[in-house]
């Protein structure tokens, strides 16, 4: 007599259950990026300001800018801009956008991220960081100008506007506004107001403060527990590599004219690169408390 064996069917998965996956941690990426931008800021100061070679090549750029005269008319709009008026207008715009969107808490956060890096930049420039004297007798100012207040302001305005806008507009706002920050950086060098290191330092400082604030916001809300090593490594290592590359390129320029052109180009490219490095970890952060509550309710 044949014996028939029946294989028991696999246990059914309870209704509503789903495979458990470990989400990547945004907080880890933001913290690594904040550390990377801060490390790059320190590296820029040490390489360009604290070394004789760095000061020498940047003073050559300033002398070339001062002798350029009207050959940099494209940078003239920056000379005419009143920084205080611009910042005041942006602050009002942030409040208006937050009121129209009925997201007052988001507007307050954007104002904090606008003001905080500017305050830190001024404190560092006036009371903490120093520029050693080079004995330059050709009219190059020896006072400390690291980091640039104009570039810090342009970068902080971009970040604040990107945060207060709806999140779907954050990526295009940052990428588009990056060209504006790049123009301010190059124009500040062209006018002889700032050295390359000043512009790079301004961008890096705002990026570091922004990522640190975003990491705090992300840590207070549901986050993943898996550390994504590629974004973390990129966020930590890419900013210092950017500073080292800029120093190496500027150091290879021999004539004053070549140094001047190289510094302007590097200022613009470096600013755009910092904005792009900031865009990655920042684009999905939920700064709006109301939006965060809605997302938690949907998950339930």
Q: What is the pLDDT of residue 134?
A: 61
Domain span holding position 262: 32-67+74-130+141-283
- Per DSSP, the residues of 181-241 read HHHHHHHHHHTTS--HHHHHHHHHHHHHHHHHHHHHHHHTS----B--HHHHHHHHHHHHH
Q: Which pLDDT score, from 0 to 100, does residue 15 have?
A: 52
pLDDT at 37 over 50: yes
What are phi and psi for residue 21, nearest 5 degrees? -125, 145
Number of domains in the chain: 1
Q: How far apart are the first and last CA of the chain?
A: 56
Region 167-183: what's the mean pLDDT?
94
- Does residue 230 lie within any of the structural domains? yes
> Which tokens hold the place of 81?
């801009």
What pLDDT was estimated at residue 71?
61
5 occurs within a structural domain: no
Has residue 150 been placed in a domain?
yes
> Is the backbone peptide bond immediately before 147 cis, with ω within 30 degrees of 0?
yes
Is 24 domain-assigned? no
The answer to whether residue 29 scores a pLDDT higher than 80 is yes
Average confidence (pLDDT) over 5-13: 51
Average pLDDT value over all residues in the chain: 85
Categorize the per-residue pLDDT at 11 as very low, low, confident or very high, splitting at 50, 70 and 90: low
Q: Does any domain span residue 225? A: yes
Instruction: Tell whether 214 is covered by a domain.
Output: yes
Please classify residue 79 by burial: count the beta carbons closer than 10 Å to its beta carbon, then call 0-12 exposed, 13-18 middle and 19+ buried: exposed
Phi, psi of 100 (to 5 degrees): -60, -40
How does residue 18 score in pLDDT terms, banded at 50, 70 and 90? very low
pLDDT at 266: 95
pLDDT digits (tens, 9 = 90+) for 96-126: 999 999 999 999 999 999 999 999 999 999 8
Query: Is 54 part of a structural domain of the chain?
Result: yes
State pLDDT tens for residues 191-232: 888 999 999 999 999 999 999 999 998 888 767 678 889 999
Could you report the per-residue pLDDT of 256-283, keeping only the tens digit for each? Answer: 788 888 999 999 999 999 999 999 999 8
Compute the distance between CA of residue 178 and CA of residue 159 in angstroms, rounded to an integer: 10
Give domain status of residue 2, yes or no. no
């Amino acid at each position: 007599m044949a014996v028939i064996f029946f294989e028991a069917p696999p246990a059914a998965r309870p209704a509503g259950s789903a495979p458990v996956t470990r989400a990547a941690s945004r907080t880890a990426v933001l913290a690594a990026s904040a550390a990377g931008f801060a490390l790059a800021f320190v590296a820029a100061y040490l390489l360009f300001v604290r070394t004789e070679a760095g000061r020498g090549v940047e003073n050559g750029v300033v002398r070339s800018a001062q002798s350029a005269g009207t050959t940099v008319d494209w940078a003239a709009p920056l000379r005419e801009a009143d920084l205080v008026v611009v910042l005041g207008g942006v602050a009002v715009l942030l409040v208006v956008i937050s009121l129209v969107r009925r997201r007052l808490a988001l507007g307050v956060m954007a104002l904090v991220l606008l003001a905080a890096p500017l305050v830190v930049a001024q404190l560092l420039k006036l009371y903490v960081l120093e520029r050693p004297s080079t004995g330059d007798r050709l009219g190059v100012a020896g006072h400390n100008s690291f980091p640039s207040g104009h570039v810090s302001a342009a970068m902080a305005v971009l970040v604040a506007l990107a945060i207060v806008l709806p999140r779907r507009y954050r990526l295009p706002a940052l990428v588009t506004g990056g060209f504006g920050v790049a123009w301010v950086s190059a124009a500040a060098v062209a006018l002889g107001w700032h050295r390359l290191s000043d512009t790079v330092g301004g961008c890096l400082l705002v990026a570091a403060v922004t990522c640190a604030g975003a990491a705090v916001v992300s840590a207070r809300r549901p986050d993943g527990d898996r550390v994504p090593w590629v974004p973390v490594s990129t966020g930590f290592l890419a900013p210092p590599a950017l500073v080292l590359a800029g120093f190496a390129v500027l150091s290879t320029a021999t004539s004053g004219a070549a140094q001047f052109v190289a510094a302007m180009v590097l200022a613009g490219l470096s600013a755009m690169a910092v904005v792009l490095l900031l865009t990655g970890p920042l684009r999905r952060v939920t700064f709006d408390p109301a939006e965060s509550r809605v997302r938690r309710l949907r998950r339930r």
